[in-house]
């Protein structure tokens, strides 16, 4: 807790008056009986301000979110001070909406859980400051959340998945493989040695000036690459998956980005266009970089599966791999279930 206290002093803490006004805005229900523990979760690790009330069985009783996507699209990426200010402007409203939707008053909460790492320091500080004020006023326990661990465990809220299982987490800020052996028991098998795949795709999209492309003007970098890749020839450029000789489960994407930058520069020269103009081969480049990225991730994940099987770290039958891509809902992907209609054949 000493570390958290030191961290919070760096950021602007809401005044006690605002916190009291916030708490006073709720209608209390003294006759209402809750049989389960209720936790308020607050998330501000990057560019979304989110909150939810969850009971001990995993039921989400109420939730709310404010997305900053439109603002950051205009600036070509997330600017930490801008994200921080938007969190400050919206966190009270979002928490209030989550509590109101759940019909739970602050006094009925059992604890407050908040993302404390990893993420953008300025964004994390807003959620942490607000949460610690609530903890102080309500005299409730505080639960610091490592949001990579939280992502890994999300599958157990929606699916009946037993420990241990393998998890692949991918986004603009991280890429890792881990064996999940328990709620706080993780074995890291592989991680990106440099940048994350989402970060790399965003940089390639900016280098291709896809914001100027009529079909991609409202898309983030990764979505623009995915959209154009459907129209391109993934084999037109000979891109080799990174680290193909490395006997581990780590990832690397900066080298691939450098190779693509050189290809773009060469194509600009061949087509006689200036930096910032759209290449006629933009779709082919998008297809090639997306295909190579997917192959790299698949091969490293396959190595992790083989490693776990050989070491007896996963069950020989009904072993499970789950993945989460860029903040989307986590999904089980291996082994694939046979369709019910085919089960009798």
Write the DSSP assignment of 268-316 as a string of letters. HHHHT--TTSPPTTHHHHHHHHHHHHHHHHHHHHHHHHHHHHHTT-S-S
Q: Could you tell me if residue 1 is inside a domain?
A: no
Predicted local distance difference test score (pLDDT) of residue 116: 95
Q: Could you tell me if residue 14 is inside a domain?
A: no
Predicted local distance difference test score (pLDDT) of residue 75: 73
Task: Yes or no: say if 24 and 139 are a contact pair by the CB < 8 Å rule.
Answer: no
Burial of residue 45 (number of CB atoms within 10 Å: 0-12, 13-18, 19+): buried
Q: Could you tell me if residue 95 is inside a domain?
A: yes
Identify the CATH number of the domain in which residue 65 sits. Answer: 3.30.420.40
Same domain, 184 and 302: yes
Same domain, 78 and 180: no
Q: Are strands 48-55 and 38-43 parallel, antiparallel or unpaired?
A: antiparallel
Q: Could you tell me if residue 179 is inside a domain?
A: yes
Same domain, 231 and 309: yes
Tally of domains within the chain: 2
| Structural domain harbouring 260 | 165-330
Q: Could you tell me if residue 2 is inside a domain?
A: no
Q: Which two tokens stand for residue 340?
A: 């019910």
The arrangement of strands across the sheet holding 111-117 comes to 60-67, 48-55, 38-43, 111-117, 142-146
Query: Running along the chain, 345 residues long, what does each successive block of 10 average in pLDDT?
Result: 30 52 51 70 94 92 93 79 95 97 94 93 96 95 92 87 93 89 94 93 93 90 93 94 92 96 96 93 97 95 93 86 66 46 30
Q: Which of 109, 142, 158 is the last residue before a domain boundary?
A: 158
Q: Could you tell me if residue 206 is inside a domain?
A: yes
Predicted local distance difference test score (pLDDT) of residue 24: 53
Same domain, 219 and 80: no
Same domain, 176 and 140: no
Q: Could you tell me if residue 204 is inside a domain?
A: yes
Predicted local distance difference test score (pLDDT) of residue 17: 60
Of 224, 219, 8, which is closest to residue 122 (Cα–Cα)? 8
- Measure the CA–CA gap between 197 and 201, rounded to whole angstroms: 6
Same domain, 212 and 122: no
Predicted local distance difference test score (pLDDT) of residue 11: 41
Same domain, 150 and 186: no
Phi and psi at 14, nearest 5°, equal -55, 145
Same domain, 84 and 192: no
Predicted local distance difference test score (pLDDT) of residue 25: 54
Q: Which of 126, 158, 190 is the last residue before a domain boundary?
A: 158
Same domain, 187 and 308: yes
Same domain, 180 and 320: yes
> For residue 79, what is the DSSP state?
-
Q: Could you tell me if residue 126 is inside a domain?
A: yes
Q: Which helix (H) or strand (E) holds 130?
A: helix 121-138
Same domain, 170 and 312: yes
Predicted local distance difference test score (pLDDT) of residue 3: 28
Q: What's the N-to-C CA distance of the chain in angstroms? A: 58
- Helix, strand, coil % over all residues of the chain, rounded to 5: 45, 20, 35
Task: Yes or no: say if 170 and 324 are a contact pair by the CB < 8 Å rule.
Answer: yes
Same domain, 185 and 123: no
Q: Which of 125, 158, 191 is the last residue before a domain boundary?
A: 158
């Amino acid at each position: 807790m000493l570390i958290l206290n030191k961290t919070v002093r760096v950021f602007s803490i809401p005044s006690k008056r605002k916190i009291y006004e916030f708490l006073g805005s709720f209608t209390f229900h003294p006759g209402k009986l809750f049989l389960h523990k209720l936790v308020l979760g607050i998330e501000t690790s990057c560019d979304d301000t989110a909150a939810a009330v969850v009971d001990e069985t995993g039921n989400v009783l109420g939730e709310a979110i404010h997305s900053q996507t439109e603002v950051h699209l205009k600036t070509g990426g997330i600017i930490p001070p801008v994200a921080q200010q938007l969190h400050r402007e919206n966190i009270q409203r979002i928490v209030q909406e989550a509590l109101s939707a759940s019909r739970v008053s602050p006094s009925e909460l059992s604890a407050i859980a908040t993302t404390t790492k990893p993420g953008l320091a300025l964004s994390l500080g807003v959620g942490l400051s607000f949460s610690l004020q609530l903890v102080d006023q309500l005299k409730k326990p505080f639960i610091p959340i490592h949001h990579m661990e939280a992502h890994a465990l999300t599958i157990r809220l929606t699916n009946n998945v037993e420990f241990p299982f393998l998890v692949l987490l991918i986004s603009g800020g991280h890429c890792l493989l881990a064996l999940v052996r328990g709620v706080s028991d993780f074995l890291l098998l592989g991680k990106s040695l440099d940048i994350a795949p989402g970060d790399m795709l965003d940089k390639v999209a900016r280098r291709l000036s896809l914001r100027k492309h009529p079909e991609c003007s409202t898309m983030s970098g990764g979505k623009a690459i995915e959209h154009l890749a459907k129209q391109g020839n993934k084999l037109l450029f000979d891109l080799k998956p990174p680290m193909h000789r490395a006997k581990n489960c780590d990832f690397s994407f900066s080298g691939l980005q450098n190779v693509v930058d050189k290809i773009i520069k060469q194509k600009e020269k061949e087509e006689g266009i200036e930096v910032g103009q759209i290449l006629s081969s933009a779709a082919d480049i998008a297809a090639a970089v997306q295909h190579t990225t997917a192959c790299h991730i698949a091969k490293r994940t396959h190595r992790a599966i083989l490693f776990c099987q050989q070491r007896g770290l996963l069950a020989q039958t009904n072993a499970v791999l789950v993945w989460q891509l860029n903040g989307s809902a986590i999904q089980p992907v291996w082994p694939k279930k046979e369709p019910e209609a085919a089960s009798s054949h």
